[in-house]
Amino acid sequence: MFVGKNAIAIFTVLSGVATGSCAFGVSALAADPIVVKQVAPAVVADTWSIQVTPYFWMAGLKGPVRVGPRLPQVEVDQSFSDIFDDLDGAFTGLAVVRYGRFGFSADLSYTGTTTAVPTPSPMFGRGHISEEVFFATVAGSYTVLENSNGSLDVMGGIRIWSWDSALELPLAGLGISLNASQDKSWVDPVIGLKGRINLTDKFFLVGYGDIGGFAGGSDYTWQLLGTIGYQATENIALSAGYRHLAVKYEDKGYERDVAFSGPILGATFKF
C-alpha cells in the first residue's frame, strides 16, 4: 500500500499466543473413577498458504538525533498528527508464506518526512530535518504449539535499516545555516515469539515481540505488538491494537536513539 500526503502508518497482522488444553470428564456413576481426557493437539496440515496484510500504523516518533559530528544533537518529538502533516510519502505491508509448521515473513515500512526541530542552543534558530526511513523485518518461523486454543511460533531473522537524513540549523541573527546529511544502512539479527489465543470462533488475541542488535549494526532494537482480531470470513481477518518499535544506533557522529509508537489497524487476506 502506498500512502501519500493523505495517510501514513502501519498495519500489521500477527498470529498469537497459544495455550495447551485438557478436558476433564466425570462418569455419571459416582462409583466410577474420574476420567481425564487429553485433547489431542491439532495436526498442522502440510499445505502452502499465503497471507498479505496492508497495515496502518498511527505512530509517533521520539528521541535524540545527531546528523554528523559538526552539528549538535537535536530532540525529535513528533506525534502521529505531526508526522501526518509533514509526510512526503509512505509505504507499508506484510507478507507471510507458510508450509505446514514452517513460515517465512517480510514486514516492510517506508516513510519520508520533512519537519521542524527545536533549537538545540541559543546560537541556533529553529531548524529542519528531512528523513527517509526504510526498515524491513525478514524472518523464518516454526510453530511449536498449535491446537483449538491458539498457537505459538518461534522466529529468527534480520531487521534491515536504511536511514537518509539531512539537517539544517540556522545561526541566530546571521542569516546563514549549517547543513549536514548522512545516509546509513545496517542489519540487525533478531529473535522473537509470536502467539495467538482464540477467544471464540470469531475473536482472537495476538501478541508479538522481538529483540535484536546483538552482534549487529545497532546497540539494540526491540519491538512489542498486541492486537485483538476478528475473523470476518474464512480468508479475511481484521485487527486493531498497539505497536512499539525502538532502535539505538551510533556510528561516527551519526546517532539514533528513537522509538516509533502508536495504535495500529490491519486487514489480512489469506490465499
Q: Judge whether residue 125 has pLDDT over 80.
A: no
pLDDT (0 to 100) of residue 202: 97
The span from the first CA to the last CA of the chain, in angstroms, equals 18
Q: Judge whether residue 197 has pLDDT over 80.
A: yes
> pLDDT grade, residue 23 (50/70/90)?
very low
With a pLDDT cut of 90, the percent of the chain lying above it is 51
Beta strands in the chain (DSSP E): 2-3, 22-26, 34-38, 48-53, 55-57, 60-66, 74-78, 87-99, 102-117, 127-147, 150-170, 177-198, 203-212, 220-231, 236-251, 254-270
pLDDT (0 to 100) of residue 216: 73
What's the CA gap between 145 and 44, in Å, rounded? 10
Nine cell digits for residue 24: 476433564
pLDDT tens per residue, range 205-224: 999 999 999 877 899 999 99
pLDDT (0 to 100) of residue 165: 86
**Are residues 226 and 204 in contact, defined by beta-carbon separation less than 8 angstroms?**
no
With a pLDDT cut of 70, the percent of the chain lying above it is 83
Query: Is the pLDDT higher at 17 or at 160?
Result: 160
What's the CA gap between 119 and 74, in Å, rounded? 7
pLDDT (0 to 100) of residue 17: 36
User: Nearest-CA neighbor of 157 among 107, 109, 89?
Assistant: 107
> pLDDT grade, residue 43 (50/70/90)?
low
What's the CA gap between 26 and 122, in Å, rounded? 78
User: Nearest-CA neighbor of 110 among 239, 210, 260, 221?
Assistant: 260
User: Nearest-CA neighbor of 184 among 138, 112, 253, 260?
Assistant: 253
User: Nearest-CA neighbor of 186 among 251, 140, 260, 234?
Assistant: 251
pLDDT tens per residue, range 71-95: 777 777 778 888 878 778 888 899 9
User: Nearest-CA neighbor of 143 among 156, 155, 132?
Assistant: 155
pLDDT (0 to 100) of residue 261: 92
> pLDDT grade, residue 42 (50/70/90)?
low
> pLDDT grade, residue 230 (50/70/90)?
very high
Dmax (CA) of the chain: 96
**Are residues 161 and 187 in contact, defined by beta-carbon separation less than 8 angstroms?**
yes
Q: What is the mean pLDDT of the chain?
A: 82
Tell me which of 2.60.120.10, 2.40.128.100, 3.40.630.30, 3.20.20.10 is the CATH number of domain 2-270.
2.40.128.100
pLDDT (0 to 100) of residue 11: 36
Return the amino acid letter for 56: F
Q: Judge whether residue 114 has pLDDT over 90.
A: no
- Residue 25, beta-bridge partner list: 35
- Give the CA dihedral 55, 60, 66, 67, nearest 10 degrees: 50
pLDDT (0 to 100) of residue 160: 97
Helix, coil or strand: residue 193 = strand
